[in-house]
Amino acid sequence: MKIEIGKEFPQYFKPLYPEEFELFSHFETTTGIPTVLFAITTWKENRQPNVCFHAWSCFHGDKTAFFAVMGNLYQHTHTYANILREQCFCINFLPIRYYDRLVETIHNNDYETDEFQAGSFTLASAKAIHAPVIEEAFMNMECTLRSAEDLSGAGVTSMITGQVQHVSVDEEYASGYKKRYGKDGFMMLVPAPQDLVTGEPAQSAIATVDIEMLD
């Protein structure tokens, strides 16, 4: 038997924190689909570097182009304004040992703040676009803005599509699976999975990739 969850909010769902279901759809906690975590870096209008710790994204394309599609980017953020103004952004992939430093950038994100300094990150320049880059990242993906859409039409979140123009990969991660897909590789977000029987909430989890087989 499957538990059926429709578009109407299940009244037995309990929030983990008071505003949880003001920020997220109940489908988010119903599904708990993992996505890769990364830092979006941009320049603020005052030329201070901005860091946005983000997930909810996918990466794909065809032989003509490759794209980063970032969902759930809030329209009230510095990052959203910066991307629209600068028409570009960098995606930085860091291993799980940098999690706490990335969280520091969430707690220190005022307009006047140097968010690289807040997270103790080394600032480097992008190769193909005008954006700051986190030197500690094992992979940097430089993107130009392709489109920005109001995700739900409610003026809350956006879906940003960036066309990848350049990728930099740390030499240690240039071959094989061990570095990219273990504790030193991609960091994943598991969104707080709701108990679909009792409605009890759960915390989000941070994960790494464990390869089980080759395809």
3-state class (DSSP) for residue 187? strand
3-state class (DSSP) for residue 186? coil
Q: Which residue has the tokens 């030329």?
A: 47
Cα–Cα distance for residue pair 121/191, rounded to 1 Å: 26
Q: Which residue has the tokens 């182009």?
A: 65
The values of phi and psi at residue 180, to 5°, are: -70, -30
From the number of C-beta atoms within 10 Å of its C-beta (0-12, 13-18, 19+), residue 98 rates as: buried
Taking residues 79-95, what's their average pLDDT?
98
Going along the chain from its start, the domains and CATH numbers come out as: 28-208 (2.30.110.10)
The whole-number pLDDT of residue 53 equals 98
3-state class (DSSP) for residue 139? strand
The 10s digit of each residue's pLDDT in 105-126 is 999 999 999 999 999 999 999 9
The 10s digit of each residue's pLDDT in 129-181 is 999 999 999 999 999 999 999 999 999 999 999 999 999 999 999 999 999 99
Cα–Cα distance for residue pair 148/157, rounded to 1 Å: 10
Q: What is the DSSP string of 26-73?
A: HHHHHH---EEEEEEEEE-TTS-EEEEEE-SEEEEEETTEEEEEEEEE
pTM of the model: 0.96
Question: E strand or H helix at 1, and its extent?
Answer: none
